[in-house]
């Protein structure tokens, strides 16, 4: 599905990948997020090739180094906003005070300091996505991956989310890769590339 893709990104850099449905945008994102394994070629983050790791090590790698933001936000409906942000911390056991404090801080930074105890059903679409962004950043990831993060939002909310994503990525000095249909969202990022028939080229 993906052919001859070569891409190198530095810390603090952000990239929008555009392309029509079925072009392989999500597949590329899943590969970068280690949710899928490439049949050929390698992907490294820093000096580390995650695909040489076994299952538990890979999970730990993903937990510490990669943050995901999904179009469907995938918040756990039974948990509050604060608890949702802390979900990745469960991989290491019970979150400590430091983590709880960081979760609060992140929610504050995404503008939800007043909505910590609200459940997803009590939040708007934009607010849910903000919680999703905070959750993605809980472990200060090197790589932040966003799959159509504004796909379910209205224009105003979408703009706000785009700005927030970039702002936080810059603050955290992470790499941000966003796959999207939205030109507007793509225009808010430093680099734009297009995926067409499995080939990645500058847009």
Binding positions for another protein, rule: CB under 8 A: 26, 30, 33, 35-36, 55-56, 59-64, 66, 68, 70, 72, 74, 76-79, 82-83, 86-91, 93-95, 100, 135, 139
Question: What are 177's strand-pairing partners?
Answer: 15, 145
In sequence order, the 6+-apart residues with CB closer than 8 A to the CB of 21 are 181
Using an 8 Å Cβ cutoff, are 135 and 73 in contact?
A: no
Q: At its nearest, how many Å lie between another protein and the CB of residue 170?
A: 22
Query: Considering Cα of 28, then 30, then 31, then 36, what sign does the dihedral take?
Result: negative
2/70 with CB nearer another protein: 70
Query: What is the helix, strand, coil percentage profile of the chain, to 5?
Result: 40, 15, 40
77/201 with CB nearer another protein: 77
53/203 with CB nearer another protein: 53
6/94 with CB nearer another protein: 94
Beta-strand (E) ranges in the chain? Answer: 14-18, 66-70, 143-147, 175-180, 191-196, 199-202
Distance of CA 192 to the CA centre of its chain: 17
46/77 with CB nearer another protein: 77
With H, G, I as helix, E, B as strand and everything else as coil, classify residue 66: strand
> CA distances (Å), 127 to each of 19, 88, 134, 158, 166, in order?
27, 19, 11, 11, 17
Q: At its nearest, how many Å lie between another protein and the CB of residue 132?
A: 9
83/172 with CB nearer another protein: 83
DSSP assignments along 165-180, one per residue: HHHHHHHHT-EEEEEE
Q: At its nearest, how many Å lie between another protein and the CB of residue 144?
A: 12
């Amino acid at each position: 599905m993906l052919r001859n893709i070569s891409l190198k990104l530095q810390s603090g850099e952000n990239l929008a990948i555009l392309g029509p449905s079925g072009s392989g945008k999500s597949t590329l994102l899943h590969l970068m997020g280690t949710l899928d394994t490439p049949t050929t070629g390698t992907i490294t983050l820093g000096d580390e090739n995650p695909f040489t790791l076994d299952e538990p090590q890979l999970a730990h790698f993903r937990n510490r180094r990669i943050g995901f933001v999904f179009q469907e936000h995938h918040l756990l409906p039974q948990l509050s906003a604060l608890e949702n942000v802390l979900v990745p911390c469960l991989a290491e056991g019970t979150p400590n005070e430091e983590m709880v404090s960081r979760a609060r801080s992140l929610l504050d930074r995404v503008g939800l300091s007043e909505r910590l105890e609200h459940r997803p059903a009590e939040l708007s679409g934009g607010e849910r996505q903000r919680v999703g962004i905070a959750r993605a950043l809980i472990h200060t990831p090197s790589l932040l991956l966003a799959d159509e993060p504004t796909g379910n939002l209205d224009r105003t909310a979408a703009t706000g989310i785009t700005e927030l994503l970039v702002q936080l990525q810059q603050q955290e000095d992470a790499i941000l890769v966003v796959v999207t249909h939205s030109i507007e969202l793509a225009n808010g990022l430093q680099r734009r590339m297009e995926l067409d028939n499995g080939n990645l080229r500058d847009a």
